[in-house]
Amino acid sequence: MHTAVPETLRQHARPQSPRPTGCEPVLARLPDIRAVLFDIYGTLFVSGAGSIGATSRTFTGTAFSAALDSVGLAYHGPGDAGVERFTGIVRDLHAAARQSGCEYPEVDVLDVWHRTLAALMEDGLLAQTDVSREQLTRLAVEFEGRTNPVWPMPHVLDCCRALHAQGILLGVISNAQFYTPALFPAFFDKTLEELGFDPELQFYSYRFSAAKPGLSMHLAARETLARRGIAPGATVYVGNDLHKDVITAARVGFRTALFAGDQRSLRLTPCPDHADIVPDLVLTDLAQLPPCVLAERRGCRSCVPEAFFDHPENVAINRQVDGRLRRLAEVTRKIRELAKTSFSYSVLRRKLRALLDNVTG
């Protein structure tokens, strides 16, 4: 990793606090857990854009032009036109991958930038025709830092250290690019490995050319864990997206924890095909995870009050949120039924609104 990458990401960062989601935690003991895998954006880090996907956030022409200027590339066109070139190339690459059979494709951002610059040169909007690999890398990081500033979630280090100290294997499965691992030295002055994350349990979508909610990364993680003698049921996956994280992980047999700690990134999109899947835990703070995972481990009972999980307030909260999750599952089944009808758009919209209100009511 180029040493300038962490520095650039940190330079563009600004302190961000999670925004309350209104969710209540659902906490329980998960015995015999041996590995914990995390999503990154929106789970371990507050994400200014909510996610990393190029099709899921808004870019600005100002950021595009500024990123080019910062690496010494003289761009002579409007920033918005450059953004349209960039996002159009992403769309075209996704479309081509889908035609080849990849349901949830991922791009390599360096390839996207290489194609974008070539197109701008052809249009006569970029004078320089020889762009070095270093410039391309710096450009990608400069643009990312400007369009998706991040900040560590509260208690992220405490959570990881507590798990690692008790022998829990740590890993990541994330829709991510080459610069994503650099977030850790950027903010913590330590690499993922130095923080206790296993180098064989780091799965990034750009390396697979496939993103969540596709199963490629989770299946690879399951296979790697199996070689260590760790069953899927002894693994917890933690993420902020009900569909991409919870449902996908549950489909390969992992236990799941929905991170509902930041309104920017919490995604509760129903998935009608898997309406029966609900998370084992709902976390509103990463500090809540170690007690759930370590409660049954030898020598760790002192870190969790005996009455913690059985306290009347916790029991009541768990029942309340469990009821909402079950209503969400029922709503997804009804949405699937509505999709088979021939209601007018206005009628269908009213019915969907009523169903969604039932989840939060």
Q: What is the pLDDT of residue 76?
A: 92
Q: What is the pLDDT of residue 320?
A: 54
The pLDDT confidence band at residue 356, using thresholds 50, 70 and 90, is: low
Q: What is the pLDDT of residue 252?
A: 98
CA 10, 84, 128, 96 dihedral sign is positive
Q: Which of 26-30, 143-147, 332-336 has the lowest mean pLDDT?
A: 332-336
The fold for domain 4-52+150-310 equals Rossmann fold (3.40.50)
Q: Are strands 255-259 and 169-174 parallel, antiparallel or unpaired?
A: unpaired
Give pLDDT tens digits for 245-255: 999 999 999 99
Q: Are 48 and 150 in contact (CB under 8 A)?
A: yes
What is the Cα–Cα distance from 75 to 203, expressed in whole angstroms? Answer: 35
Give me the DSSP letters along 111-151.
Answer: HHHHHHHHHHHHTT-B------HHHHHHHHHHHHHHHS-EE
Helices (H), the chain: 4-12, 61-70, 79-99, 109-122, 133-147, 156-165, 183-188, 205-208, 216-227, 248-251, 289-294, 312-338, 345-360
What is the Cα–Cα distance from 49 to 29, expressed in whole angstroms? Answer: 33
Q: Estimate to the nearest angstrom the gap between the alpha carbon of 62 and the chain centroid.
A: 26
pLDDT at 179 over 70: yes
Q: Are strands 255-259 and 235-239 parallel, antiparallel or unpaired?
A: parallel
Give pLDDT tens digits for 79-133: 999 999 999 999 999 999 999 999 999 999 999 999 999 999 999 999 877 899 9
Beta strands in 175-261 (DSSP E): 197-204, 235-239, 255-259
Q: Model-level pTM?
A: 0.82
Determine whether 238 is exposed, middle or buried from the number of CB atoms within 10 Å of its CB (0-12, 13-18, 19+).
buried
Q: Which of 58-62, 79-83, 154-158 has the lowest mean pLDDT?
A: 58-62
The pLDDT confidence band at residue 336, using thresholds 50, 70 and 90, is: low
Domain ranges of the chain: 4-52+150-310, 61-147
Q: What is the pLDDT of residue 303?
A: 41
Determine whether 281 is exposed, middle or buried from the number of CB atoms within 10 Å of its CB (0-12, 13-18, 19+).
buried
* More confident of the two residues 357 and 76: 76
